[in-house]
Amino acid sequence: MISYSLMAWCLTIAGGYLLLLSLLWQWLERLLNITRGIPENLLESMGLGWFVVNFLTELLFFVAIPTLAYSFFYVVLPFDGIRGALAVALLVFILGAVPTIMGLTMRLKLSMPYLLFYLMGFLLKLAGSLFIIGYIYIL
């Protein structure tokens, strides 16, 4: 049975976590000047519109879809809770993000600190969101 109240809690709390981490990560990126060395014509201007679109995309893929999937399948999954959520996050990270970024480094001459910073942010956002979802469903 799908619990809509648990889904709402997951969306709210994990969405709040994602918003705070996105703001912190953007601040850190500016503070560390992580885009140094990347040509200006390759960089997108990071205004409010860019942040909103990026946040909504991450909210969809890091929070909304995993919440919906977890709410449908948590009854039949062989794992549950925080360890299962972190295992899925690590699997998605290794099978999804890392090959894409590594393939991108072979085709474009991008700054390695920028790519590692991007991957670390991706992992923290994904693992934190799934951690929250897994934790809420074991309550």
- For the chain, the domains span 4-138
Instruction: Output the pTM of the full model.
Output: 0.87
98-139: pLDDT as tens digits: 888 888 888 877 788 888 899 999 999 999 999 998 899 888
CA 28 from chain centre, in angstroms, equals 16
Q: Contacts for 15-20 with beta carbons within 8 Å, 24 or more apart? A: 15/59, 15/63, 17/128, 17/129, 17/132, 18/55, 18/58, 18/59, 18/62, 18/63, 18/125, 18/128, 18/129, 19/55
What residues contact 120, with CB distance under 8 A and at least 6 apart? none
